[in-house]
Amino acid sequence: MSRSLIAAALAASLCLPGAAFANEANEAALKARQSLMSLIAYNLGPLAQMAQGRIDYDAEAAQAAADNLFNLTRHSQERLWPEGTAEGQIEGSAARPTIWENLDDFARRYGDLQTAAATMQGAAGDGLQSLQGALGGLGGACQACHQQYRVSD
Amino acid sequence: MRRFGGFLLASIVVGLVVWWLARPGDLSPATQTALAAHAADAEAGERIFWAAGCAGCHARPGIEATDPVEERLVLSGGRRLESPFGTFVAPNISTDTTHGIGGWELNDFARAMLHGVSPDSTHYYPAFPYTSYNRARLEDVADLWAFWQTLPADDTPSIGHELSFPFTLRGGLGVWKLLNLSDEYLLPEFPDAQVMRGRYLVEALGHCAECHTPRNLAGGLDASRWMGGAPNPSGEGRIPPIPDPRWSADDIEAYLFSGFTPSFDVVGGSMADVVVHMAQLPAADRAAIAAYLRALIE
């Protein structure tokens, strides 16, 4: 009886630091992916504002934002989505648990974003109309994934 | 004994009165006359269709933001709406005469939208937002029905709701309606035509409050916390309060068209469908919605 108690306590003491470590790693992943999203949104900003006519079109600024978007979307997603980082599992997450049941589909949608960002990189500096033409696909790629895999906030 | 007899009699009278009040209502003769008198316009009805968001529940599940918008005109049903009472599954309301509502008349359609009552006189669950649609103008209902006639038929059978007892008993819905149904507007009359147009779009057709306003224990909207945000009935996340006071009317208008927030985050969850619907409306309607929402906090 007491031996099994000791064994349990020992097992628990061995697990706890491991759990704390996993927690820290998960929090770092959450912070990293949300930071990446913020940077993507930050660079989407001037492109969308120009397309909506809220600021004047500026080819150089548009190209710079589109280049950034292209590079940001080259960041690999592999270490950004560890298990245990869904909404309800970790504070501040808006990721639906279904991501981890559909990793192939999730990756495909990120691939769509990469393609749309490449299209935007080729279009943003070529005039307002060209930018506007590429924005729909870019916004659509964001939305397609958010609709499926992000909880309402 | 006499006292008991009196109590029994009173109970029966009260019971009969409640039964009478809670019975499925019908359109008044005046309403039927007005509906018949309106020269219905299918094109105008399309605008009502998108404003009312019919496709948000009744289009097939899994339509992507990037899919052609026409796919949302096939009202085959099947989307699931989770709630504390069980899961509602949206039925087929396409023009199919067997599985949809192709056999309905305008009066059947108006009775469903305005009273939440089916052609065979049973109450619908308020997952169908007649609690908002009951403010719709008769001519808009008639135009919407005219537009409906242009929509495709689909023979997908409807799946029943998955509710737990006692919510499986529709009779209780009559009492629920007595307690929770009102066609009064929340925002008082306002000397601004744009805000009033927005009020109609938000409070009647758009039924925004159905998600954005918290509910009481009986599942009715808590008007004292109008648009105050609410838990997501599916259990995931929260529906935010609206409007975000930091958002200008222009910000709201741009969001409803493009899905971009002022910080260029992009809409997700079930709101993504709403943005697709809103983007089909004339810009003036999105501006009116924005003006109404700002009027709530100004």
* A143 chain-B contacts, CB cut-off 8 A: 65-66, 259, 266-268, 272, 275
Asked whether the predicted pLDDT for residue A13 surpasses 60, the reply is: no
Q: Can you list the alpha helix ranges (DSSP code H) found in B166-248?
A: 172-180, 193-199, 209-212
Q: Determine if the peptide bond prior to B91 is cis (ω within 30°).
A: no
Per-residue pLDDT, B9 = 81
As given in the structure block, the two tokens for residue B17 are: 């009165």
Size of interface A-B (CB pairs under 8 A): 81
Residue of chain A with shortest Cα separation from B257:
A52
Q: Is residue A7 over pLDDT 70?
A: no
Question: Which residue, among A35, A38, A142, A152, would best test binding to B if mutated, counting the most B CBs under 10 Å from its CB?
Answer: A152
Give the model's pLDDT for residue B1.
57
Ranges of residues in chain B whose predicted pLDDT is under 70: 1-2
Strand order in the sheet with B80-83: B80-83, B86-89, B162-163
Residue A17 above 60 pLDDT?
no
pLDDT (0 to 100) of residue B279: 95
pLDDT at A8: 56
Higher pLDDT, A8 or B91: B91
All residues of chain A having their beta carbon less than 8 Å from the beta carbon of residue B252 are none
**Interatomic CA distance for residues A40 and A147, integer angstroms:** 17
Of residues A42, A87, A148, nearest to B236 (C-beta): A87
Q: How far apart are CA B134 and CA B183, in angstroms?
A: 6
* Chain A touched by B182 (CB under 8 Å): no
The shortest CB-CB distance from A152 to any of B237, B254, B275 is to B237
Q: What's the average model confidence in pLDDT over A42-46?
A: 96
Task: Establish whether the linkage from the previous residue to B166 is cis, with ω within 30° of 0.
Answer: yes
The Cα diameter of chain B in Å comes to: 74
* pLDDT tens-digit map of B45-88: 999 999 999 999 999 999 988 889 999 999 999 999 988 889 99
Whether residue B264 and residue A44 make contact (CB cut-off 8 A), yes or no, is: yes
CB-based contact B65 A37, cutoff 8 Å = no
* Prediction pTM value: 0.87
Contacts of A96 in chain B (CB under 8 A): 236
The 10s digit of each residue's pLDDT in A67-80 is 999 999 999 998 99
ipTM over 0.90: no
Are the CB atoms for A132 and A51 separated by under 8 Å? Answer: yes
**Distance between CA atoms of residues B190 and B193, nearest Å:** 8
Q: Tell me, rounded to whole angstroms, the distance of Cα A17 from its chain centroid.
A: 28
Q: Tokens for B28?
A: 């008044």
Decide if pLDDT at A9 tops 70. Answer: no
Would you call B268 an interface residue with chain A, using a CB distance cutoff of 8 Å? Answer: yes
Rounded Cα gap, residues B104 and B101, in angstroms: 6
Alpha-carbon distances of B146 from B105, B154, B273, rounded to whole Å = 11, 18, 23
**B29 to chain A, minimum CA–CA distance in Å?**
43
Structure-token pair, residue B149: 């006639």
Cross-chain Cβ contact A152/B265 below 8 Å: no
Q: How many CA atoms are closer than 13 Å to the CA of B151, on its beta-carbon side?
A: 30
Chain A residues within an 8 Å CB radius of B266: 41, 44, 139, 142-143, 146
B12 phi and psi angles, rounded to 5 deg: -65, -40
Residue A105 pLDDT exceeds 50: yes
**Interchain CB contact of A86 with B (< 8 Å):** no
Predicted local confidence at residue A1, as pLDDT: 45
Residues of B in contact with A153 (CB under 8 A): 237-238, 240, 269
Assess contact for B227 and B209: CB atoms under 8 A. Answer: yes
- pLDDT at site B264: 92
- What is the reported pLDDT for B58? 98
**Range scoring the smallest mean pLDDT among A36-45, A58-67, B263-272:** B263-272
Query: According to the model, what pLDDT value does residue A123 have?
Result: 97
Residue recorded with tokens 């895999």 = A149
pLDDT at B4: 72
Look at residue B141 in the predicted model and tell me its pLDDT: 98
Q: Is the pLDDT of residue A6 over 70?
A: no
Chain A residues touching residue B238 (CB < 8 angstroms): 152-153
Partner residues linked to A63 by β-bridges: none
Given an 8 Å threshold on Cβ–Cβ distance, is A146 in contact with B250?
Answer: no
Taking a C-beta distance cutoff of 8 angstroms, is the pair A61, A131 a contact?
A: no
Give the integer Cα–Cα distance in Å for A93 and B48. Answer: 36
Q: For chain A, positions 1-30, list CB contacts with chain B under 8 A.
A: none
Put simply, the answer to whether B266 touches A153 (Cβ < 8 Å) is no
**What pLDDT sits at residue A5?**
57
Of A88, A142, A149, the CB nearest to B266: A142
Is there a contact between B66 and A88 if contact means CB atoms under 8 Å apart? no
